[in-house]
Amino acid sequence: MLAKRIDKLSESITMAITALAQELKADGKDILSFSAGEPDFDTPKVIKNAAINAINSGYTKYTAVDGIPALKEAIAAKFKRDNELTYELDQIIVSNGAKHSLFNLFSATIEKGDEVIVPAPYWVTYPELVKYLDGTVVEIPTNDKTEFKITPEQLQNALTPKTKMLILTTPSNPTGAVYSKEELTALAEVLKGTDVLVASDEMYEKLIYDGKFTSAAAVSDDMFKRTITINGLSKSVAMTGWRFGYMAAHHTKIIKAAKKLQSQSTSNINTMTQYTAITGLDGSADKDIEMMRKEFIKRRDEAVKLFNDIDGLSVLKPDGAFYLFVNIQQISNDSMAFAKELLASKGVAVVPGVGFGSEGYFRFSFATGITTIRKGIKRIDEFVQEFKLK
Ligand SMILES: Cc1ncc(COP(=O)(O)O)c(C=O)c1O
C-alpha cells in the first residue's frame, strides 16, 4: 500500500526513549526528562501581544506563498544588522519552521547520485531527508578531541566530483560547537573552485555563550554565493510551536524552486505567525532573549561542572545552543543500551549519541530548570557508579 520511498525514512531513534519515558510516566514513575529540543521558557509577552494584535487586525487570510513583504523586509534587515549579509526580498522565503526550509532546499537541489557531506554528530533530520531524496550521505566523523568540528583536511578528503552540498550547523545540535570566523574561512578555502553548495543551519545563532557568532555566508564573496542560510525563531525566542523558519540564498532560482514546491504543498505559513515573527526579528524581544541566554549560561556552567566531577564521564563546555554531548566511552560503547537502562533504573531520559551518528555519547538538554538538572545529574552519577560495578 505504501510508496517505497517511505521505507527510506527511519523513525527518529529518540522516539524509542521518548515512548519509554511516557510509558513509565503513565505508570506513575518519577521521570526527569533531558531529551527536549526546545526551550522551557514561555514565548515572550511582546510576541504574544503581536499575535493577538494580528488576529484583531484581521490578518487571517492567505498571503503570498513565500511570506508577506513586511516580514521578508524584517528578515533582510536582520541579516544586515546581525550578520552583515545583504539579501534582496526575492532571495528569501518563509516556511513552516527551519525543518520545512531544509526540506524545500533539499527537494529543490538533491537528486540520485548527489553526495551530501554531513559532519557527525549531526541533527537527525539531515541524513534522513538526504536518503529520502535518493542522495548519498557522506559523513565526516568528529569527536570531543577536535571540539566536534570538521577540519579543512577532512573536508578536502570528503570532496568528490559528485559532492553537491556540505551541511554546516553552527551552533550545533547536539554538541553546541560553534565555528569561528577563522575556521569557516579555512573551510571556505577548500570549497573554492568547486560547485559545492553549503547549507548553513544557524537556528541557535542567538544562543551563543562564549566567542562571537559568524554566519557562514559572511566569510567571503565566494562563500556568500554558494551558501544557503537557514534560520528561524524556534530556539532563540522560544517559538517552537508557531512554525516559522526561513532561508536565504544568493541563487534566486533556489528560492523560486522552493516557492514553487511550497505553492503546491503547504502555501503560505500561517498568517498570524508571519505578522508576529516581525516582532521576533526586529529587536523588540532582545531583552527576553538576553534573559534566556543568561539563564542558559548559568545552567551550562553548573551542569558541565557536575558532569565532569562524575568519575567515568566527561563533557566539553559548549559555546552555544542548549545541549551537552556527554562522553560515556569509559563506561559503555552502546549509548542506546545505556540510555534505556538509565531511564528504566533511574527515571532519567537522555538521547543516545548513536541517534546523532556518534556512538559513546549521550545528549543532555539543559533547557530545563536548574533544580531538575541537579537532581538528574545526581541520578546519572549513581547510575554510572552502579554500572561500573557490573
Ligand atoms: C539544528 C536544527 N535545525 C533546525 C531545527 C528545526 O527547527 P524548527 O522548529 O524551526 O523547524 C532544529 C530543531 O530541533 C534544530 O535543532
Q: Which residues surround ligand 1 with Cβ inside 6 Å?
A: 37, 97-99, 123, 169, 173, 201, 203, 232, 234, 240, 245
Backbone region of residue 257 per phi and psi (left: phi > 0; alpha: psi in -120 to 50; beta: other values)? alpha
Q: Ligand 1 centre and the CA of 233: distance in Å?
A: 9
Q: Ligand 1 centre and the CA of 345: distance in Å?
A: 31
pLDDT at 224: 98
Q: Ligand 1 centre and the CA of 383: distance in Å?
A: 31
Instruction: Categorize the per-residue pLDDT at 57 as very low, low, confident or very high, splitting at 50, 70 and 90.
Output: very high
Query: So where are the chain's domains?
Result: 4-43+286-389, 61-281
> For residues 230 and 101, is the Cβ–Cβ distance under 8 A?
yes
pLDDT at 43: 97
Report which ligand 1 atom has the smallest distance to the Cα of 245: 10
Q: Ligand 1 centre and the CA of 309: distance in Å?
A: 31
pLDDT at 298: 98
Q: Ligand 1 centre and the CA of 353: distance in Å?
A: 18
Whether 388 shows a pLDDT value over 80: the answer reads: no
pLDDT at 155: 98
pLDDT at 16: 74
Whether 178 shows a pLDDT value over 80: the answer reads: yes
C-alpha cell at 49: 501581544
Mean pLDDT estimate for the chain: 95
Q: Ligand 1 centre and the CA of 385: distance in Å?
A: 34
| For residues 51-74, average pLDDT | 97
| For residues 156-180, average pLDDT | 98
> For residues 155 and 166, is the Cβ–Cβ distance under 8 A?
yes
Residue nearest to atom 14 of ligand 1 (CA): 37
- Domain 4-43+286-389 - what CATH class? alpha beta
Over residues 183-222, the pLDDT tens digits come to: 999 999 999 999 999 999 999 999 999 889 999 999 999 9
Residue nearest to atom 1 of ligand 1 (CA): 173
Report which ligand 1 atom has the smallest distance to the Cα of 321: 16
Over residues 235-270, the pLDDT tens digits come to: 999 999 999 999 999 999 999 999 999 999 999 999
176-179: long-range pairs with CB below 8 Å, 24+:
176/316, 176/318, 176/319, 176/320, 176/321, 176/322, 176/323, 176/324, 176/325, 177/147, 177/148, 177/149, 177/318, 177/319, 177/320, 178/208, 178/211, 178/213, 178/319, 178/320, 179/149, 179/214, 179/216
Integer CA distances (angstroms), 300 to 46, 61, 307, 366, in order: 27, 42, 10, 7
Pocket test for ligand 1, best of 101, 102, 125 (most atoms within 8 A of CB): 125
Over residues 27-55, the pLDDT tens digits come to: 899 999 999 888 999 999 999 999 999 99
| For residues 86-114, average pLDDT | 97
Over residues 321-364, the pLDDT tens digits come to: 999 999 999 999 999 999 999 999 999 999 999 999 999 999 99
Residue nearest to atom 16 of ligand 1 (CA): 173
Integer CA distances (angstroms), 355 to 15, 83, 165, 195, 312, in order: 10, 32, 22, 30, 21
pLDDT at 12: 77
Q: What percent of the chain has pLDDT over 70?
A: 100
Instruction: Categorize the per-residue pLDDT at 309 as very low, low, confident or very high, splitting at 50, 70 and 90.
Output: very high
Of 284, 376, 298, the C-alpha closest to 339 is 376
Q: Ligand 1 centre and the CA of 158: distance in Å?
A: 25
pLDDT at 21: 84
Of 304, 327, 317, 323, the C-alpha closest to 377 is 304
Pocket test for ligand 1, best of 96, 124, 173, 233 (most atoms within 8 A of CB): 173
Whether 389 shows a pLDDT value over 90: the answer reads: no
pLDDT at 30: 93
Which of the residue ranges 57-66, 168-177, 381-390 would you say has the lowest mean pLDDT? 381-390
pLDDT at 260: 98
Pocket test for ligand 1, best of 235, 270, 356 (most atoms within 8 A of CB): 235
Over residues 12-22, the pLDDT tens digits come to: 777 777 778 88
pLDDT at 25: 86
pLDDT at 133: 96
Identify residue 186 by its one-letter amino acid code: A
Strand ranges across the sheet with 163-169: 92-95, 245-249, 227-232, 197-201, 163-169, 115-120, 136-141
Q: Between these two residues, 17 and 67, which has the higher pLDDT value?
A: 67
Q: Does domain 61-281 have CATH number 3.40.720.10?
A: no
Whether 375 shows a pLDDT value over 90: the answer reads: yes
Residue nearest to atom 13 of ligand 1 (CA): 37
Over residues 317-330, the pLDDT tens digits come to: 999 999 999 999 99
- Matching fold, domains 4-43+286-389 and 61-281: no
Residue nearest to atom 7 of ligand 1 (CA): 98
| For residues 165-172, average pLDDT | 98
Q: Name 122's bridge partners.
A: none
Other Cβ atoms closer than 10 A to 368: 21
- The H or E element spanning position 197 is strand 197-201
Q: Ligand 1 centre and the CA of 12: distance in Å?
A: 14
Instruction: Give the predicted TM-score (pTM) of the model.
Output: 0.96
Q: Ligand 1 centre and the CA of 99: distance in Å?
A: 6
Report which ligand 1 atom has the smallest distance to the Cα of 38: 14
Pocket test for ligand 1, best of 148, 203, 236, 323 (most atoms within 8 A of CB): 203
Q: Ligand 1 centre and the CA of 378: distance in Å?
A: 29
